[in-house]
Amino acid sequence: MEQQRLAAIGRWFDDYTRTFLDTDPEGVENIRLKIEHTRKVCAVSDILAAGEGLSAEEARIAQAIALLHDVGRFPQYRRWRTFRDRDSDNHARLSVEVIAEQSLLAGLDSGECLLIEEAVRFHNLLELPERVASPTRLFMRLIRDADKLDIWRVFIELFTLPEERRASAATLDFPDLPGCTPACRDALLAQRVVRLDQCRVLNDFRLLQISWALDLGFASSYRLLQERDYIARLAGTINGKLDIGTAIDGIRREVARRAA
Show the domains of the chain with their CATH numbers: 3-148 (1.10.3210.10), 174-259 (no CATH)
What count of Cα atoms within 13 Å lies in the side-chain half-sphere of residue 183?
Answer: 9
How far apart (Å, rounded) are the C-alpha atoms in residues 35 and 56? 25
How far apart (Å, rounded) are the C-alpha atoms in residues 182 and 164? 27
Residue 162: the pLDDT is 86
H/E stretch holding 9: helix 3-18
Asked if 221 contacts 255 with a C-beta cutoff of 8 angstroms, the reply is: no
In 3D space, the residue among 192, 174, 148 whose CA is nearest the CA of residue 239 turns out to be 174
Residue 12: the pLDDT is 98
Residue 227: the pLDDT is 96
H/E stretch holding 89: none
How far apart (Å, rounded) are the C-alpha atoms in residues 92 and 118? 10
Backbone angles phi, psi at 174, to 5 degrees: -75, 135
Residue 195: the pLDDT is 94
What Å distances lie between residue 104 and 20, 43, 62, 184, 210, CA to CA?
Answer: 18, 21, 15, 39, 35
In tens digits, what is the pLDDT along the chain, a chain of 260 residues? 899 999 999 999 999 999 999 999 999 999 999 999 999 999 999 999 999 999 999 999 999 999 999 999 999 999 999 999 999 999 999 999 999 999 999 999 998 999 999 999 999 988 888 777 677 889 999 999 999 999 999 999 998 888 888 888 999 989 999 999 999 999 999 999 999 999 999 999 999 999 999 999 999 999 999 999 999 999 999 999 999 999 999 999 999 999 98
pLDDT digits (tens, 9 = 90+) for 160-205: 888 888 888 999 989 999 999 999 999 999 999 999 999 999 999 9
How far apart (Å, rounded) are the C-alpha atoms in residues 235 and 245? 9
Residue 133: the pLDDT is 67
Three-state secondary-structure class, residue 79? helix
Asked if 188 contacts 210 with a C-beta cutoff of 8 angstroms, the reply is: yes
